Amino acid sequence: MPVDASQLVIVQYPDPVLRCKAKPIASVTDEVRAVATKMIELMHEARGVGLAAPQVGLSWRMFVANVTGEPGEDQVFINPVLREPGRASEPHDEGCLSIPNVTAEVTRPTSITIDAINEQGEPFTLTAAGLPARVWQHETDHLNGVLILDRMTPADRMANKRAIRELERA
């Protein structure tokens, strides 16, 4: 069934699509490019640094990212694969556009390599440390049905208990 990209919105926890393992995209089509463009728009409107397709209700292996907020820095990652995580890891607070009003300290490798396809259908490989590495890992978690709720410490779980319960009731 075709997707009307103009109708996409950011879905919120506990929407079931957020818990599904997303399916690979067979080919980069105009529809895929339109969805990526809309996802970039939604990410900027929400003041986010990344947005995965499951967060707009699509079980596709794709995410967009822009860690600087600059328009020319938007990136599209189709069928991404993470590899070569750095040996060092570090905790850092993370939020999620699909889980508003919840932040959690999440420990992740400080560097990572990613292989993906861009919106022109061209494969690419990037290696990064710091915020880009964290964003790629967070968004790839979304493609695997994993949320920051699954990675938070017991203390963060207690601190966010009320906000999580309110989302589950909504």
Distance between CA 42 and CA 144 in Å, rounded?
Answer: 21
- Other beta carbons within 10 angstroms of residue 103's beta carbon come to 16
Catalytic residue among 41, 119, 139, 166: 139
Phi, psi for residue 137 in degrees, rounded to 5: -70, -40
Burial (Cβ within 10 Å: 0-12, 13-18, ≥19) of residue 15: middle
Annotated binding residue 138: yes
Helices H / strands E in the chain, number of each: 5, 7
Active site residue 139: yes
Annotated binding residue 44: no
Annotated binding residue 92: no
Catalytic residues: 139
- Residues belonging to the binding site for Fe cation are 96, 138, 142
- Residues belonging to the binding site are 96, 138, 142
